[in-house]
């Protein structure tokens, strides 16, 4: 999840090496394309597409440490826990979450009241009428979206107009 870390003192940010710039660009590009932060393995793959070919994942952990020390990112203990500094809440919208939807037999429908909100990049949803439901069950785990399976507990964005 990307958090709002909008108060950044740009003067305190140190200059990056060329390889650090590529890693930072890989993070930003992955987020822009997928709407979520990359894993270290995904950073490695994206960096490779940008011209940085390193074999060791450890190298990328070291680059992430350097980016954090220089003030460009923050890391959390969450999965995909990279926070880009300087990304404001203007880049996000709140998507209502209408309960859960069974991915097995159609035994229940998503509740018709908002249980919470999911913070999603505006680039991902544009100006569509979107809501989210949380998947309950495993029958959708053979379906793929952008090469990833839909698993129990995942959130699925739904276009209300379709």
Number of domains in the chain: 2
State yes or no: pLDDT of 1 exceeds 70. no
| Nearest to 46, CA basis, from 82, 91, 10 | 82
Name the helix (H) or strand (E) containing 18. helix 18-34
The answer as to whether 49 is a domain residue is yes
On whether the pTM is more than 0.75, the answer is no
Picking from 84, 111, 139, the residue at the C-terminal end of a domain is: 84
CATH code of the domain covering residue 70 = 1.10.10.10
- Which tens digit of pLDDT belongs to each residue from 9-22? 444 457 889 999 99
Q: What would the pLDDT profile of 92-129 be if each residue is shown by its tens digit?
A: 666 677 766 666 544 444 445 667 777 777 777 776 77
């Amino acid at each position: 999840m990307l958090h709002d870390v909008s108060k950044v003192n740009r003067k305190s940010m140190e200059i990056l090496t060329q390889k650090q710039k590529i890693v930072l660009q890989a993070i930003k590009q992955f987020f822009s394309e997928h709407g979520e932060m990359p894993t270290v393995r995904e950073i490695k793959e994206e960096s490779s597409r940008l011209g940085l070919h390193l074999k060791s994942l450890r190298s990328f952990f070291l680059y992430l440490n350097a980016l954090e020390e220089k003030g460009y990112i923050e890391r959390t203990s969450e999965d995909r826990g990279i926070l880009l500094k300087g990304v404001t809440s203007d880049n996000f919208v709140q998507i209502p979450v209408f309960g859960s939807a069974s991915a097995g037999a159609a035994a229940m429908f998503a509740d018709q009241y908002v249980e919470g909100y999911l913070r999603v990049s505006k680039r991902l949803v544009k100006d569509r009428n979107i809501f989210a439901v949380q998947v309950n069950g495993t029958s959708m785990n053979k379906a793929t979206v952008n090469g990833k399976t839909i698993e129990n507990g995942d959130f699925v964005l739904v276009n209300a107009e379709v």
